[in-house]
Structures are given as C-alpha cells and as structure tokens.
C-alpha cells in the first residue's frame, strides 16, 4: 500500500518536478543551498549521516540501565561525600558537601543500606530475535543497515520511565524489538515501511529514547516481528534558507547537534527541552514538545513550517512551505502528538533565528510560593516574560541548594553568607518558606537590559528580591544534570519520577497544594515508612495558564513491590491533577502510561476522530506501539 501511494503527498511526481523547475528558476542565487529532487542528498554530498554526538551503537557512550552518558553520574566518594563525575557538565568533578546530609534527612536513607543491581547486561536474559527470513532477504537488498544484536535491541526497547529503568536493573523486558534498522534518508524509510506492509510486520519508531510515557515499550502481546526504526542516522540539515529564516532538517537529529550545526551558520531554533542533549527533532514533533525558552521561540507547534511523514498509506506533506494555510483542519496537527502511531516523520522544516547577541541570567527570591506565582501571572499578563522564567517551591529550592558545589574561595563563601543574612535576617524571609525564580534573557543587549528592568520592577511589587546571575545560571545548568540523580537514588532504596501538567492561572496554587498533599496522603496509606519528597515548579507561562512540573520520590525500604506502589501513587496524583482542572500532559505526551485518561481528556467523540485517522492511515496497524488509543 505504501508503494502505491509513495508519490501522493503533494501531487504526482511529474507535476512536482514541473513546479520545481519553475521555482528553481525564480530562486537561483537565493540563500537556500539545496533545491533538488535527487534522493538522499544533503548539503555537501551524497547520503550518509553527519557526525553526530550520539553514536549508532548507543552503548559506546550511554548507560544501558540509567540516564545519560556512561562517564557522568552522581556518586559518593571514599570520604562519603557526594560528587558528580565526568567533564561534560559544569558540575563535573565537583564535591557537593551538603548533598549526603540532605538525602539522609529528606528520605531517611543511609549509605549503609545499598541496593544491588546488575552490573552489565546478560544477553542470555534477552528474548530471542524472531525475524522472517524472506523479510531479511528483502531488507538486505535495500542495503539499509540493520542489527539483531541483543544490546542494540535492548537499548531501543525502552524509554526512561521509572518502571523501565527498574526492570533493566532487576530483570528484563518480556518483549523487545526483534531487529533494529538504521535508515539514512527519507527514501530508506519509504522502503522499510513498504517491506513492513508487504510482510505484515510491526514498526516502532525510535528517535532519542528519552520518552517518559512508556511510548517505546513493545506490547507484550505483539506476535509479529517488531522493527525498531532508529532515525538517528538521519541527522543532517538539508538546507538553510537565510531569506525566509527556515531550515529543512532530517528528523533524527538530536537537539544538541541541531543547535551546534545551526550555530555554525549563525542561527538557532531556541528549542531547548530538558532532554535536548539526547532527544530528537522527530520526537519533539511526535510528542508536541516544549522547550525551556518557549517564551521567545515558541513550542514545537510554533516552530514547524512543514513536515514530511511516511505512513502505510503513503507520504503525508503539504504542497508548499508557507507560514499559514486555510485549507481545512491542519494536517500537521494530526502528525504532531501522534507518538509513532501513524508513521515516521522524516523531514521537518522549522523556523530559525539569528543567534542572540546577548544572554543574561538572573534570579529572584520571593517570601513565599504564592507571591512568586502572582509575579509570574503579572509577567504573563504584561507579556514581558524573558526567554525562560521558572519558579521553584521551597522544597525544590532546598534540593537545589543541596546540589551546590563546595566553595573554593573564602571570599565567595563570605559573600554567600552575607546574601543569606540579608535575605533571612534583614528582610525577614523564612528559609523554610521562601521560593526562587530563575530567569534567562536573550536578544539585543539594549533590549535585554530594558526587559530585565521591567521584570525586576514587577518582581519588586510582589516582594521579590534580586538574587544574582550565578543562581540563575546554576539553576538553568541543573536542569541537565538533575535527571542523573534518580540513578543514585535507586542505589540507596529511593525511587523517584517527574510528571507535569498545564493549568489555568486561577487553579495553579490549588493544584500544586492539592497534588502534593495527595501524594503525602497516598504514601501513608500505601505503607511507605518514610515521608515522601513532593515538590513542584512553574516552568512555562502563557496568557491563560502555566505548566507545572512535579518531582516525587520516596524511600522504599520495607516495601516488597515498590514499583507497583509508586504507580498507584502516581495514578492518584494524576487523578488529582485532572480533578483540579489540569491537563493530562503539557509536553511529555500520553504513550501507554496515561492513555487510560484520553477519553476523559478529549471526549469520546474526539477519541473516535483519532481512531478514524489511525484506521485510514494504518489499517493493518503496522505502527502498532499502542500509544494514545
């Protein structure tokens, strides 16, 4: 079926070539580097992946049973002090003198009580690869790279939900992909989908592997051969159009490589999700992602100009690349958020911006969370939000403070002491109630300074005190290392996870309070012996509401099935979010983890509309990951 419709996305091949000849005549000498119908071509030459940050063999660089790079992790050294290893992050090699005390006090954890997990992957535990020999023969004929290696398959059998990492540490998944394929261009994806349709196989697209919605888990009941279609080798910028400020990019590129390559030409997208080191452009599209700097650059739906997607029914794309169209419901909105259920996104044209001339961090301390939220509401009302503005509650402030590295300078230590004295003693802020907002301003230097003054003036009206650039920069940096902490916690009987929602402004405070209280109550009822860590931050602001991000963790010593208990508590927290007017998800997506609430979230008719699209585009359920529906 895919073969029949391969050219149907934007009219017949002959009409497309005719339009291309006309357009290319008008655009000769323009800023765009490539206008060619030739398959698998990019700037500078033939098909083949660019040298990306993440290798094809992910196990060469990344942990097999935890977050991030092999050489980067939190540990307790021989002196019992916490430190962060490696040199990839600013925190690398630094001692964190108060972190051990914070963990012991917060969770009742002890360095004497350490769990045991498997040190390496035992390939004998991995389910065997079952692949039809006729399919393998057809696949070999395409010259598309593939692997049936156990490690390759396990690396693509999961995302980063708590239960997935716990399974890797303690056991093995019952079902994993049977084969991994690495297309290097759009045409390769067309061939793979055609073969899957021909042999009735299941495809699960794989981008950066950072899902926290169980989206990458293989359905245990799936009897067909499961193909993990890894887009990582489709990682090139195909062209940059400097006049229209757009770039056409292959969907497998990860965020850090996208920004690095664009930066070499003087541009950026400004899209920086917490996972940007590892998550892919195609994954952002598939989950309707949001970035930390969305106030200036927008969410992914604001950045996308054009999408090309391969489905079992054929190729979906618009016939032109324009900022807006009035041609019925926007087909991009069937693709964005489809979570791998309809096809594979292969190419995306996105908006780009010149690199900002000036960047400045900042922070504000508020006497309490209520004042902080009121300030963010006013900033949003006046539409003067900086690139990033995030407000953490007191528990998260204490958490961040525990991650502060050892101060080498006596003078710096003295200054820190003066700041603390000024805020707590002179200004009367209670250190157990105060909260902090971190800020990031970007743009023209003069405008940034004007913008900064406007935001700080608003903060002053709500009792806020400027707390310096260093705190703002450190808070932003911690975003990229905080995910590593869960792996350390698991070593000492502490399990934790994050989840998020969006909520109207008038419900922010009630939702934050009620969800945290519900978590504490549920833990007590479920027999958790130690008080849980339950905290939140307001991370993105809008005219009509905000995104709220929760962290939740507890000491599971004495609990026989901690993952089951955790999932019951998280389910209750999600019910509380919905009851308080929050959304099912702001940017993590639905996957299989949250799909039980889809009917409640978008209505029975709305769910039926999505099912109808699925049945038309993929009648044989080739893309059978069972997300969303």
| Separation between Cα atoms, residue 238 and residue 262, nearest integer Å | 11
At what angle are helices 508-525 and 369-381 packed, to 10 degrees? Answer: 140
User: CB–CB of 557/113 below 8 Å?
Assistant: yes
Three-class DSSP category at 536: strand
Beta bridge partners of 353: 268
Q: 117, 212, 223: which is closest to 174 by C-alpha?
A: 223
Per the listing, tokens 């307001």 go with 538
Q: Is 382 exposed, middle or buried (0-12, 13-18, 19+ CB in 10 A)?
A: exposed
Per the listing, tokens 């099935």 go with 561
- Residue by residue, DSSP assigns 34-95 as -----TT-BTTBSS-----SS-SSGGGTB-SSSSSBTT--EEE-TTS-EEE-SSSSTTTT-E
Residues ≥6 apart with Cβ < 8 Å to 449: 360
Going by DSSP bridges, is the β-strand pair 95-96/145-147 parallel, antiparallel, or unpaired?
A: unpaired
| Separation between Cα atoms, residue 55 and residue 257, nearest integer Å | 12
DSSP 128: P
Q: CA dist 240 to 28, 265, 294, 297, Å?
A: 14, 9, 22, 18
Q: Is 270 left (phi over 0), alpha (psi -120 to 50) or beta?
A: left
Beta bridge partners of 438: 363, 390
| Separation between Cα atoms, residue 625 and residue 206, nearest integer Å | 11
Longest distance between any two alpha carbons in the chain, whole Å: 77
Tokens for 377, please give them. 């509401």
Q: 244, 186, 183, 142: which is closest to 37 by C-alpha?
A: 186
DSSP 435: E
Three-class DSSP category at 327: coil
Given the residues 549, 551, 556, 566, the one annotated as active site: 549
| Separation between Cα atoms, residue 307 and residue 323, nearest integer Å | 13
Going 178 to 183 to 189 to 192, the CA torsion angle's sign is: negative
Q: CA dist 314 to 43, 160, 261, 281, Å?
A: 26, 31, 31, 21
Per the listing, tokens 């935890």 go with 66
User: Integer distance in angstroms from the first to the last C-alpha of the chain?
Assistant: 23
Three-class DSSP category at 45: strand
| Separation between Cα atoms, residue 457 and residue 344, nearest integer Å | 47
| Separation between Cα atoms, residue 349 and residue 363, nearest integer Å | 35
Q: 113, 104, 107, 67: which is closest to 82 by C-alpha?
A: 104
Beta-strand ranges (E) seen in 138-269 are 145-147, 179-182, 202-206, 226-230, 237-241, 246-250, 267-268
| Separation between Cα atoms, residue 457 and residue 451, nearest integer Å | 10
Identify whether 549 is a catalytic site residue.
yes
Phi (first) and psi of residue 365, to 5 degrees: -100, 130
**Which active-site residues does the annotation give?**
549
């Amino acid at each position: 079926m895919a073969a029949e419709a391969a050219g149907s996305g934007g009219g017949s091949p002959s009409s497309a070539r005719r339009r291309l000849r006309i357009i290319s005549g008008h655009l000769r000498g323009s800023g765009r580097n490539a206008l060619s119908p030739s398959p698998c071509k990019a700037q500078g030459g033939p098909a083949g992946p660019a040298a990306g940050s993440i290798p094809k063999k992910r196990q060469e660089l990344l942990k097999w049973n935890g977050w991030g790079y092999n050489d980067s992790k939190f540990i307790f050294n021989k002196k019992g002090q916490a430190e962060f290893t490696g040199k990839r992050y600013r925190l690398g090699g630094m001692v964190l003198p108060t972190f051990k005390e914070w963990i012991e006090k917060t969770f009742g954890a002890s360095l004497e009580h350490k769990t045991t997990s498997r040190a390496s992957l035992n390939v004998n535990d991995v389910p065997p690869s079952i692949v039809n020999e006729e399919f393998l023969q057809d696949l070999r004929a395409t010259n598309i790279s593939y692997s049936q290696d156990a490690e390759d398959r396990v690396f693509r059998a999961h995302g980063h939900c708590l239960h997935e990492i716990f399974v890797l540490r303690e056991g093995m998944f019952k079902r994993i992909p049977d084969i991994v394929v690495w297309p290097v261009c759009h045409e390769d994806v067309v061939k793979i989908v055609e073969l899957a349709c021909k042999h009735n196989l299941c495809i699960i697209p794989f981008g950066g592997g950072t899902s926290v919605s169980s989206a990458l888990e293989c359905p245990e009941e799936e009897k067909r051969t499961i193909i993990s279609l890894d887009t990582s080798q489709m990682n090139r910028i195909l062209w940059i159009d400097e006049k229209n400020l757009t770039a056409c990019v292959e969907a497998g590129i990860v965020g850090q490589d996208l920004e690095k390559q664009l930066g070499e030409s003087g541009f950026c997208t400004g899209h920086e999700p917490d996972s940007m080191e590892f998550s892919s452009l195609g994954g952002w599209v598939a989950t309707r992602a949001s970035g930390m700097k969305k106030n200036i650059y927008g969410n992914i739906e604001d950045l996308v100009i054009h999408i090309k997607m391969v489905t079992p029914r054929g190729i979906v794309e618009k016939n032109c690349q324009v900022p807006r169209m009035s041609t019925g419901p926007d087909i991009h909105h069937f693709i964005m958020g489809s979570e791998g259920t309809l096809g594979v996104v292969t190419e995306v044209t996105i908006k780009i911006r010149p690199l900002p001339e000036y960047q400045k961090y900042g922070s504000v301390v508020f006497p309490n969370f209520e004042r902080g939220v009121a300030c963010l509401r006013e900033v949003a009302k006046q539409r003067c939000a900086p690139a990033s503005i995030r407000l953490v509650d007191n528990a998260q402030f204490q958490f961040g403070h525990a991650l502060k590295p050892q101060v080498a300078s006596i003078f710096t230590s003295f200054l820190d002491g003066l700041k603390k004295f000024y805020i707590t003693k002179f200004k009367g802020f209670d250190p157990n109630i105060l909260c902090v907002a971190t800020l990031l301003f970007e743009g023209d230097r003069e405008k940034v300074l004007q913008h900064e003054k406007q935001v700080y003036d608003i903060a002053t009206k709500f009792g806020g005190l400027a707390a310096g650039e260093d705190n703002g920069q450190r808070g932003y940096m911690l975003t990229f290392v905080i995910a590593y902490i869960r792996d350390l916690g698991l070593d000492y009987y502490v399990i934790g996870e994050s989840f998020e929602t969006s909520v109207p402004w008038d419900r922010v405070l009630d939702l934050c309070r009620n969800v945290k209280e519900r978590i504490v109550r549920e833990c007590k009822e479920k027999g958790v012996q130690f008080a849980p860590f339950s905290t939140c931050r307001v991370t993105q602001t809008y005219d009509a509401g905000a995104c709220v991000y929760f962290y939740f963790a507890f000491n599971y010593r004495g609990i026989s099935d901690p993952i089951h208990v955790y999932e019951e508590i998280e389910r209750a927290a999600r019910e509380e979010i919905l009851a308080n007017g929050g959304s099912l998800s702001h940017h993590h997506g639905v996957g299989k983890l949250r799909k039980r609430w889809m009917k409640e979230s978008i209505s029975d008719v709305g769910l039926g509309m999505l099912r109808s699209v699925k049945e038309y585009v993929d009648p044989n359920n080739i893309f059978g990951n069972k997300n969303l529906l």
